[in-house]
Structure 1
Amino acid sequence: MDLCFDFVNNSCLRTNRAPANYSVMFIAMFGAIILTTVGNLLVIISISHFRQLHYPTNFLILSLATADFLIGLVVMPYSMVRSLTSCWYFGDLFCKVHSCLDMTLCTGSIYHLFFISVDRYYAVCHPLHYYKNLTTNVIELFLLTTWSVSCVFSFGLVFSNVHTEGIQDYITSYYCIGSCSLTLNKLWGTISSLICFFIPGALMIGIYMHIFSVARNQAKLVHNHHSFQPDKSKSKISVRAERKAAKTLSIVMGVFLFCWLPFFILTVIDPYINFSVPEDLYNVFLWLGYFNSALNPIIYALFYPWFQKAFACIISGNILKAGSSFSQLLTGV
């Protein structure tokens, strides 16, 4: 029987895993960390360096990439050690700080996705008023709301200990030296899931469904208009654009729901089943949510040709050349 801390009374038990299982888990988690940090760092460098990318919409993507980068840098490595060993070696205070950072950055990432959907709504549904409504000041308000709500809620919840009311006896019964878990009672398990995921997620789904409906109707109007024209090339282009929009929105929502929905469903139901969810299942759903931060650069950056050009410039080393910040990455701007 292995302990997290030898010769320490009331030490937690260390989980013994078969070498093959340990290796697979380590490779998957370490790979997710590398993908998250490197992918989001490329987005941060791209938007920060290239002057042509300095416009309000990209500031949302820059802030999203920063949140996801920090998840990969300061949250996931410690969670990896805990998931592999079931032990926490970094002290009780940092356990709370880590829980706060985890909740803050993951919630912030979700809120960024929501505000990006708001940005896309105005771009597609109200294109004539887009630049008037989505100004730099509005984007700054979005970012202030995202970071302040995420920080205040997360740190306030963890350090106030309101989430432990009514379950103190249960927490005391399983506590041991080397444990670090954020256990939420029924009330706060539901409230936190609503605030951090279900409310912004439901709004985001509604927005994207409306965007898709508007884009489809616009494509049909264009198709009908050009069906009476000898040259139907434009209508064919509109049909391709509709299909591309449908594919992109399907990927955005599918990945988001696939990554985060299982974890937050688990967060809601676990207090109602006497916290009987297996630890390994919890870790699988947690890391599935983390993996969304690794996929965000691909979904929100690599789908755009100008980001692909920026990445190529960074990887090739051309970014180090004088005047590279003035490179033309956008066409028609």
Structure 2
Amino acid sequence: MKVSDWGVTNVDYQTVQYCFPDNNLSCTKNIRPGVEYIIVYVFISVISVFTVFLNLLVIVSISHFKQLHTPTNVLILSLAVADLIAGLILMPVQGMTLIEPCWYFGEIFCSIFPLILYVVVIASLGNMIIISVDRFIAVNDPLRYPLKVNTNKAVVSIVVNWLFSFLYSFYLLYDFLLHPERNHTCIGECVLVVTLENLIIDTLVCLVAPCCIIIPLYMKICFVAKRQAKHLNSVTEKKAKSEKKAARSLGIVVLVYLLFWMPYYIATLSFGHDENDALIINVMNWLVCMNSCMNPLIYAMFYQWFRLSAKYILTLKIFEPSSEYFNLFPEEK
């Protein structure tokens, strides 16, 4: 509710109040039942802590154990860093907007938060594209994969990805970053208005283009995997099976990400700008962030190395001498 709506109708002062009672320019808000606040805040807190915990396990695992220092795992590490930031910052703030209409974090964070949101989400999407390309090369040419892809190239691709994410986000939000208060009608409001032109550009860059890259790549991966199954010899079979297993599991990561990502763009393109539509978009936005807790769960389902490394971390065995050389692939002995 806007300040101008205050007192237009019979208002129950037990359910509506100012965001900042001492300021006459303050926005107003509807007061929800206490149990509703408790349920939402507990849910947000649990999901956020769970996301941070799981992604810290991924980051520590890949950083600590030498066997995991591979190009693919470096890409997974970059994705986990983005997911960690989402759990620490994006999910709590986005979750609060679902139930708390007032902005209590100040003008500076109001201008910075959308930039963090865009950078992290776009960097995650970029990671998905790079992972798809990496898996395509690995499955299409498993024997020469180590010659074509190495850790240094993976690091360079990650740096380029994060740099592009920042520059692209800065371009989209440039006017908002300069004048974050322009669309505010009262104190306690943080509103980001995206022009139709920028929305179309963002949809093309962050939805259409990635789908046009990722979907054909994984269709090609499936085709190559079936073709290889008929022509593999005993020397290449083990390597190819390993790469295909990694491609399948990471393909699920990519698919889940797109399933969480698409509803947001459908919502932003389909709905208007009234209060109810803004709530729907906020929910879709939070679902995109919530995807950050899904990736480690997928790793746990498909990767024995993640289950073993998590066990070593949680039992504090990583503090033992030479723990970085623990064998995480016992089946290869």
TM-score normalised to structure 1 length: 0.83
CA–CA separation in structure 2 for the residues paired with 1:253 and 1:57: 14
1:111 aligns with 2:121: no
The residue that corresponds to 2:61 in the other structure is 46
CA–CA separation in structure 2 for the residues paired with 1:116 and 1:131: 15
Identity, % of aligned positions? 36
CA–CA separation in structure 1 for the residues paired with 2:274 and 2:196: 10
CA–CA separation in structure 2 for the residues paired with 1:156 and 1:214: 39
Alignment gaps of 5+ in structure 2: 1-15
1:137 shift after superposition: 3.1
1:162 shift after superposition: 9.7
* Secondary structure of residue in 2 paired with 1:85: coil
Kept after mapping to 2: 8 A contact 1:262/1:285? yes
CA–CA separation in structure 2 for the residues paired with 1:63 and 1:250: 17
The residue that corresponds to 1:278 in the other structure is 277
CA–CA separation in structure 2 for the residues paired with 1:257 and 1:18: 35
State the Cα deviation string for residues 87-112 of structure 1 (Å, max 9, x = none): 11111121111110011011111111
CA–CA separation in structure 1 for the residues paired with 2:211 and 2:293: 18
The residue that corresponds to 1:293 in the other structure is 292
1:264 aligns with 2:265: yes
CA–CA separation in structure 2 for the residues paired with 1:58 and 1:253: 15
> 1:36–1:181: structure 2 CA closer, same or farther, 3 Å change rule?
farther
The residue that corresponds to 1:59 in the other structure is 74
1:297 shift after superposition: 1.8
The residue that corresponds to 1:25 in the other structure is 40
CA–CA separation in structure 2 for the residues paired with 1:199 and 1:100: 21
Kept after mapping to 1: 8 A contact 2:41/2:96? no
Q: How many residues align?
A: 313
Q: Which moved more, 1:321-330 or 1:154-163?
A: 154-163
Alignment gaps of 5+ in structure 1: 227-234
State the Cα deviation string for residues 164-217 of structure 1 (Å, max 9, x = none): 9xxx9xx74x63211123221111011122223332233112211211222123
Query: For 2:190, which of 153, 176, 180 is the aligned residue?
Result: 180
Alpha-carbon RMSD across the aligned residues, in angstroms, is: 3.1
* Secondary structure of residue in 2 paired with 1:217: helix
The residue that corresponds to 1:252 in the other structure is 253
Q: Give, as a single letter, the amino acid of the residue that structure 1 aligns with 2:188.
A: G
Query: For 2:163, which of 134, 148, 154 is the aligned residue?
Result: 148
1:279 shift after superposition: 3.0
Q: Give, as a single letter, the amino acid of the residue that structure 1 aligns with 2:221.
A: I
> 1:148–1:69: structure 2 CA closer, same or farther, 3 Å change rule?
same
Kept after mapping to 2: 8 A contact 1:263/1:286? yes
1:220 shift after superposition: 4.5
1:274 shift after superposition: 5.1
Q: Give, as a single letter, the amino acid of the residue that structure 1 aligns with 2:18.
A: L
TM-score normalised to structure 2 length: 0.83
State the Cα deviation string for residues 294-316 of structure 1 (Å, max 9, x = none): 11222246521111110010111
Listed as ranges, the matches of 1:313-332 within 5 Å are: 313-331=312-330, 332=332
